[in-house]
Structure 1
Amino acid sequence: MSMFSIFGISGSAVSAQSQRLNVVASNLANVDAVAGPDGQAYKARQVVFQTVPIGAEKAPGVAVSNITENQAEGRRIYDPSSPMANTEGYVVHSNVNPVEEMVNMISASRSYQNNVEVMNTTKNLLLKTLQLGQ
């Protein structure tokens, strides 16, 4: 493994965390969503990561293997006067927990920053190595 493969590994992690941030943003945007015309409310999504080991067919690093939906029941609020109420008078909201999503966003952001720092440190080490030969 060369020093240059660190850029590929950290780059794949940055890309994966970027996808995670997009999913978190989508979840937060739909935190107060109610059931649509099909009767189904928005379901929170989560990114599932997969490691790609050294020597695999693809470049080593991190990959997003799947984006799953949380199948938990959404919040039900009794409001029979709402046009979105079901036959029992309940309005079904999304199952997104904003506190969990904010923690998830902070975690993804920190992971993103850490991988950028790894790439910057590697670049600086390579530059110092080149300067030794001068």
Structure 2
Amino acid sequence: MNLFGVMDISASALKAERVRAEVVASNMANAETTRTEDGGPYQRHHVVFEAQEGSFGASLLSQGSSMVGSDGTPGGVAVSSVLQDGADPLRRYDPTHPDAGADGYVAYPDINPLTEMVDLMGATRSYGANASAIQAEKSMIASSLDLLK
């Protein structure tokens, strides 16, 4: 693996964590959305990551692994899908709300702001760690070029 391969791995993680942060932001923004185009309340979304061809972890365990690319370089991470949570909506009694049912209850998304903030903090820290890895690699490349002078 060359130095640029490491940068590709970190870049793929930066993209994946950006998507994760955007999904969390969307969940937070829609925490009170009681009616969507589908008619029901907003459903929380989850980001699912997958190893790209040539998983870095697999390359550490076994260079002969099928997860290692054909040229021996490990891959990175990608967003495989964004899934809707199948949790039942929360029901709150508010007979004056325009989306209240005949019984006076309104269906709200099952979104916990604390869970979303923890997920956002994880995405932010992972993003920062990968940005630091890219900076460290840039520094190594610059030092290598200085040695050649």
Distance 2:23 2:33 in 1: 15
Computed over aligned residues only, the root mean square deviation of the Cα atoms, in angstroms, reads: 1.6
Distance 1:101 1:42 in 2: 15
Distance 2:19 2:127 in 1: 11
The count of corresponding residues between Structure 1 and Structure 2 is 132
Query: What secondary structure does 2:95 align onto?
Result: coil
Query: What amino acid maps onto 1:27 in structure 2?
Result: N
Matched residue, 2:123: 108
1:38, distance to aligned residue in structure 2 (A): 5.0
Query: What amino acid maps onto 1:19 in structure 2?
Result: V
Unaligned 5+ residue runs, structure 1?
none
Query: What amino acid maps onto 2:2 in structure 1?
Result: S
Matched residue, 2:69: 55
Distance 2:48 2:69 in 1: 22
State how 1:1-134 maps to structure 2 within 5 Å.
1-36=1-36, 38-52=38-52, 53=54, 54-55=68-69, 60-134=75-149
After superposition, the C-alpha distances for 1:34-69 in whole angstroms (9 at most, x for unaligned) are: 23475410011010000112316xx82110001011
Query: What secondary structure does 1:4 align onto?
Result: helix
Normalised to the residue count of structure 1, the TM-score between the two structures is 0.91
Give the fraction of aligned pairs with identical amino acids, expressed as a percent: 38
Matched residue, 2:59: none
1:33, distance to aligned residue in structure 2 (A): 1.5
Distance 1:11 1:36 in 2: 34
Moved over 6 A (4+): none
After superposition, the C-alpha distances for 1:49-100 in whole angstroms (9 at most, x for unaligned) are: 00112316xx821100010111111210112232211122210111111110
Query: What amino acid maps onto 1:21 in structure 2?
Result: A
Distance 2:103 2:3 in 1: 62
Unaligned 5+ residue runs, structure 2?
55-67
Distance 1:94 1:85 in 2: 14
Normalised to the residue count of structure 2, the TM-score between the two structures is 0.82
